[in-house]
Amino acid sequence: MRGQGIAPPPHPRFSIFVLSLTDMISRSLWLVAALAPALLGSGAGLTGAAPPEFRSALTNAPLDLALRPGDQLSEGLKQFYASGRNPYVGRAEALARGKELYEEICQACHMPDGSGRIGPSLIDDLYINPRANTDVGMFEILFGGAFGAMRSVYDRMSQDEMLKVLAYVRTLKK
């Protein structure tokens, strides 16, 4: 009788399609399994529970925050390493030192008011590098350098001073 008996094998193109579909699904399951710990880990970082990681703005490789010979691990720097928040923001004495450093080193490229020339504006609503939205990201840019003329200032000031100049940069934004 017609319609009975063994079904013909599926069209070869169709079985290749089904095979590659199951292959794709199993691959993406593996990917989810592999990425889950990393995703959860970064979530913990956002809650402020874990100390921040510092990464190069150029290569994203971890930054070695070794102090220069003779530099001190200041109380402010210790707080910053632990919390990722710049403790000098809004502190008058630190801001005065930050202003001096800004005038000496940064304003040639970023202008005295921060409006930008060779370097981008530091006072408009949008930073070119999204990193600059956080204290850690700004520090990464200063410590490790960014693209073009934005060189690392590691040889020019201590890490404590980097925090002070960055606290001053925040005051330029009206």
> In a 10 Å sphere around its CB, with 0-12 CB exposed, 13-18 middle and 19+ buried, how is residue 18 labelled?
exposed
Contacting range for ligand HEC; rule: CB under 6 A; set: 1-9, 27-35, 81-89, 127-135: 127-135
Q: Does 105 bind ligand HEC (CB under 6 A)?
A: yes
Nearest distance, CB of residue 55 and ligand HEC, angstroms: 14
Q: Which of 89, 109, 111, 123 is the binder for ligand HEC (CB under 6 A)?
A: 109
Residues with Cβ < 8 Å from 84, sequence gap 6 or more? 48, 51, 52, 134, 135, 136
Residue that has been written with the tokens 């990722």 in this structure: 84
Query: Closest CB to ligand HEC among 77 and 165?
Result: 165
Query: Closest CB to ligand HEC among 23 and 113?
Result: 113
Query: Closest CB to ligand HEC among 63 and 153?
Result: 153
> In a 10 Å sphere around its CB, with 0-12 CB exposed, 13-18 middle and 19+ buried, how is residue 98 labelled?
buried
Residues with Cβ < 8 Å from 146, sequence gap 6 or more? 57, 58, 129
Amino acid at 148: G
Q: Does 128 bind ligand HEC (CB under 6 A)?
A: yes
> In a 10 Å sphere around its CB, with 0-12 CB exposed, 13-18 middle and 19+ buried, how is residue 138 labelled?
buried
Q: Does 164 bind ligand HEC (CB under 6 A)?
A: no
Q: Does 108 bind ligand HEC (CB under 6 A)?
A: yes
Nearest distance, CB of residue 107 and ligand HEC, angstroms: 8
Interacting residues with ligand HEC (CB under 6 A): 105-106, 108-110, 118-120, 122, 127-129, 132, 138, 141-142, 146-150, 153, 165, 169
